[in-house]
Amino acid sequence: MTDQPGAARSPGVTYQELLEADTHPVPDVLRLEHNVFESDEDIPTSRYTSREWHELEKKNLWSRVWQYACRTDEIPEPGDHYIYEITDRTYLVIRTETGEIKAFPNACLHRGRRLKDYDGRCSEIRCAFHGFAWQLNGELKDVPAKWDFPHVEAESFSLPECAVGEWAGFVFINPDKDAQPFDEYVAGLAEQFEVWDLGNRYKEAHVAKVVPCNWKIAQEAFCEAYHVNGTHPQIMGYLGDTNSQVDVWDNFARVISPGGTPSPLLDYDVSEDEMMATMLDVRHDQESPIKVPEGATMRAVSAAMSRERWREFAGDAVDQMSDAEMMDSIDYTLFPNFHPWGAFNRIVYRFRPNGDDHRTAIMECIFLAPYTGEKPAPAPVHWLEEHEVFSDAEELGMLGKVFDQDLFNMPRVQQGLESTHKPGVTLANYQESKVRWLHKLFTEWVEEN
């Protein structure tokens, strides 16, 4: 069977075998496996380099796909609004008097000025240019010198609406009012997240940075673990990179990289103690503060430590969590650019073009943390300056250093793709099948419409 394309798997323990050894019951969702070989054809480099492809993305993707805009608790009260921008478009996401969330193109119906320049709270939506004003629900409220506009009738001068959807505290918008209903779009992902309630978290951190590459280059650097050996060799001692499990469904996919098991690419046996020392970032000439007891595994010991760390914030719910949920990177993607991690990991990524520039992107890392007691206020966006790196964002902890390694590649990938004489990039059949899946959907959305 394994000589069928896409059927081969890494030597070493499989993810499902690791789950068998878990010290706690593993949720059914982690037992699912779904990967169908699609193709081994190259992906055209023009998708990352050409202006034409970017224009097609604007026309066929961003104008009609569901996209994460903000968290519901970022606009808790009537009049609270959040400006969501994608390519050259700006949208106003606002809480109305009734508590409903609406979204409008952020543009005055008079002469077109953008209506809101900043996030904030307002009692009405009034244009700063000539003073046309709308109610929070988008109904026309006021036209200064109305006598000069007998042709403007309130009934036909409401702000046009985008479609809005909510899931687990995330607000999504779709510029296309007639899009597939959001509840349908998110159903498959939502079902898999039933065991992990991201709605019951608060936004603990939110770091954003403009990165010098096409947004898909940035995104795809987080869609496989194959790059770990080249880019993050320091974590190979405890991360099962090439034996990650990759699952692909219709509009969402996931990569699960097991923690507490060494990379099969290492050519020596890694002891349980070495795995622990590597994860704790202990130098070779230092003693590891934590030893793995005889007969125990680093994976189970480390998961137990993690449960105790989280108990303070999440209460005894941690006792229900499997080693897998404490240790593994369970990185989901909802097409096209939303990346919530499953289980106890707090990460959510978002990638998008930086304004209308197809050679720079915005990368964001959000931490959604559990809490006990009153819900803390959501963290504001911490924008890193051009000269700053992710490890300057202390709130990201150890992760910042890892991101900086990823970022180091990004402009170099862009430059290489601009220069290469090869018309396409080549993908691994299994390990990079999430990237393959993204491009299958890009073909459907961007090229076949």
Residues 76, 121 contacting (CB under 8 angstroms): no
Taking the CA of residue 10 as centre, how many other CA atoms within 13 Å lie in the half-sphere pointing to its CB? 23
Instruction: Tell me which stretch binds Fe ion (CB under 5 A): 47-55, 117-125, 364-372, 400-408.
Output: 400-408
Q: Which two tokens stand for residue 39?
A: 């193709």
- 119 versus 406: smaller Cβ distance to Fe ion: 406
- 64 versus 401: smaller Cβ distance to Fe ion: 401
Taking the CA of residue 96 as centre, how many other CA atoms within 13 Å lie in the half-sphere pointing to its CB? 14
CB of 232 to Fe ion, least distance (A): 6
CB of 225 to Fe ion, least distance (A): 8
- 73 versus 406: smaller Cβ distance to Fe ion: 406
Instruction: Tell me which stretch binds Fe ion (CB under 5 A): 128-136, 150-158, 329-337, 402-410.
Output: 402-410
Instruction: Tell me which stretch binds Fe ion (CB under 5 A): 1-9, 11-19, 58-66, 403-411.
Output: 403-411
Work out whether 161 is an interface residue with Fe ion (CB under 5 A): no
Instruction: Tell me which stretch binds Fe ion (CB under 5 A): 98-106, 127-135, 285-293, 404-412.
Output: 404-412
- 15 versus 349: smaller Cβ distance to Fe ion: 349
Residues 36, 248 contacting (CB under 8 angstroms): yes
Work out whether 406 is an interface residue with Fe ion (CB under 5 A): yes
The four Cα atoms 135, 126, 120, 63 give a dihedral, to 10 degrees, of: 80
Contacts of 115 (CB under 8 A, 6+ apart): 92, 104, 106, 107, 108, 125, 126, 127, 134
CB of 8 to Fe ion, least distance (A): 23
Q: Binders of Fe ion: how many residues, by CB under 5 A?
A: 1
CB of 212 to Fe ion, least distance (A): 17
Residue in the shown chain whose Cβ atom is closest to Fe ion: 406
CB of 405 to Fe ion, least distance (A): 6
Distance CA 238, CA 299 (A): 9
Distance CA 166, CA 88 (A): 24
- 115 versus 365: smaller Cβ distance to Fe ion: 365
CB of 233 to Fe ion, least distance (A): 11
The three-class DSSP label of residue 253 is strand
* Sequence-ordered strand ranges (E) for 273-393: 329-334, 338-340, 347-354, 357-369, 382-383
Describe the strand order of the beta sheet including 163-167 as a list of residue ranges: 67-71, 170-174, 163-167
CB of 277 to Fe ion, least distance (A): 21
- 139 versus 406: smaller Cβ distance to Fe ion: 406
Interaction site with Fe ion (CB under 5 A): 406
